[in-house]
């Protein structure tokens, strides 16, 4: 009844507009459960797509050779595969230097240049 009597809410056509209008009119504090339900409805398609993307990536990462890998190693591989756009900006030289600083190794890792 409260929202129906407000003329600003009569022109709302979508859930996005409803959530924006609720914050604009400070109704998200008066109706926190309704606002939470609207937010969940807006997040659900993105969350579902993310989960589907992870499962399809598992098929690529977990090959026959890696069937025996532990959960933590597989998780690390999946994060790198799924977030490849983030890891594309990480310099391999910095990774090698950090790895070498973790523990003494027999020899230093060298960057391989393919000329």
CB 109 within 8 A of CB 100: yes
pLDDT by residue (tens digit) across 45-68? 877 777 777 777 777 666 655 666
- The HSE-up count of residue 110 (CA atoms within 13 Å, CB side) is 5
Neighbours of 4 (CB within 10 A): 8
CA–CA distance, 72 with 76 (Å, rounded to integer): 6
Domain boundary assignment for the chain: 2-102
- Check: pTM over 0.75? Answer yes or no: no
Tokens coding 112: 């391989």
């Amino acid at each position: 009844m409260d929202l129906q009597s407000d003329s600003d809410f009569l022109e709302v056509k979508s859930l996005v507009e409803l959530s924006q209008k609720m914050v604009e009119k400070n109704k998200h504090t008066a109706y926190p459960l309704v606002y939470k339900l609207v937010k969940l409805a807006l997040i659900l398609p993105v969350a579902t797509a993310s989960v589907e993307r992870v499962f399809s990536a598992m098929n690529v990462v977990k090959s026959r050779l890696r069937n025996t890998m532990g959960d933590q190693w597989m998780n690390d591989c999946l994060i790198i595969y799924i977030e490849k756009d983030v890891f594309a900006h990480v310099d391999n030289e910095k990774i090698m230097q950090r790895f070498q600083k973790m523990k003494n190794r027999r020899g230093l890792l060298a960057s391989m240049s393919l000329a």
